[in-house]
Amino acid sequence: MSDHAGHATSDLLDLARRIATTVAATALEERRRGIAVESTKSSPVDVVTAVDRETEARIRSLILDARPDDGIFGEEEDTHVGTSGLNWVVDPIDGTVNLLYDIPAWCVSIAVVDGPPDPLHWHALAGVVVNPVTGDVFEASRGGGARLGDQELHVNEDVELSKALIATGFSYSAERRRAQATTLLQVVPRIRDIRRIGSAALDLSAIALGRLDGFYERGLNPWDHAAGALVLREAGGRVGGVGGAPESSELLVAAAPSIFDELLSLVVDAGGATG
């Protein structure tokens, strides 16, 4: 870790919060005026809206105004390479399909990490996840705990896997969705129930709040989980991948500590890290 990790994470968190809440309010206004698909990305159902692109452009502008030497790694634009050793990992709208359908489960996710924009090699310093519709602002700083507004967050304790409420997500690729459905068939009988909310950042934050007990998904991008994973870890949760590795596109499993190992084994054994 570079010496930048020691500099005030509280300042980074304050900036991340200020930017996330500012752009979230504007994105909500734009949603209320109406929205349409602007283009698609990896498949015909992987949509991009003008709100995604405009929100990321605003986030980038606000970051660079405040910290011109930092890098920015986001979903909609090319990486901005910085010189400070810090990178902002940005998902302007996580849950774009929910946004499109006016389902109130989409968010702005902003994290700042020490190191490259790769979860295998970074150290997350601060993260904010804002749901503009509900007004929920989840936030965390490294070693500073996690909060929803003024409420300190902590995961559910003493959870049993058979009574655990688990969330997951699905790929935009039809072939991968088929494999994920096969995994799900083996997971569902072993747990209380499954939820598919449509935003990994909100799923991870929900575990921190105790609204969920666990989450797993294959194929996530770094911006999908950078902020949410920090919120969950600072709330006492565990996040990781296959064989003790950090979370990555190969697999992300997140859960209350009492069920993490068991959930990870279940998902891997069910083929959740392949296909």
| CB contact set of 127 (below 8 Å; sequence gap of 6+) | 16, 109, 110, 111, 112, 139, 140, 141, 226, 227, 228, 229, 230, 231
Question: Exposed (0-12), middle (13-18) or buried (19+): which is 177, by Cβ within 10 Å?
Answer: middle
157 is in an annotated binding site: no
Q: Kindly give the pairing relationship between strand 86-94 and strand 71-74.
A: parallel
Query: Which token pair is 136?
Result: 């929920």
What 3-state class would DSSP assign to 127?
strand
91 is in an annotated binding site: yes
75 is in an annotated binding site: yes
Residues written for the chain? 275
Nearest to 35 by CA among 101, 89, 81, 79: 101
CA end-to-end span of the chain: 33
Query: Which token pair is 48?
Result: 């991009």
150 is in an annotated binding site: no
CA distances from 165 to 14, 51, 232, 238 (A): 32, 32, 16, 16
56 is in an annotated binding site: no
Secondary structure (DSSP) of 138-179: EEEETTTEEEETTEEP----S--GGG-EEEE---SSHHHHHH
Secondary structure (DSSP) of 67-106: -TTSEEEESSSPPBP-SSSEEEEEEEEE-HHHHHHT-S--
Residues contributing to the annotated binding site for Mg(2+): 75, 91, 93-94, 224
Annotated binding-site ranges:
75, 91, 93-94, 224
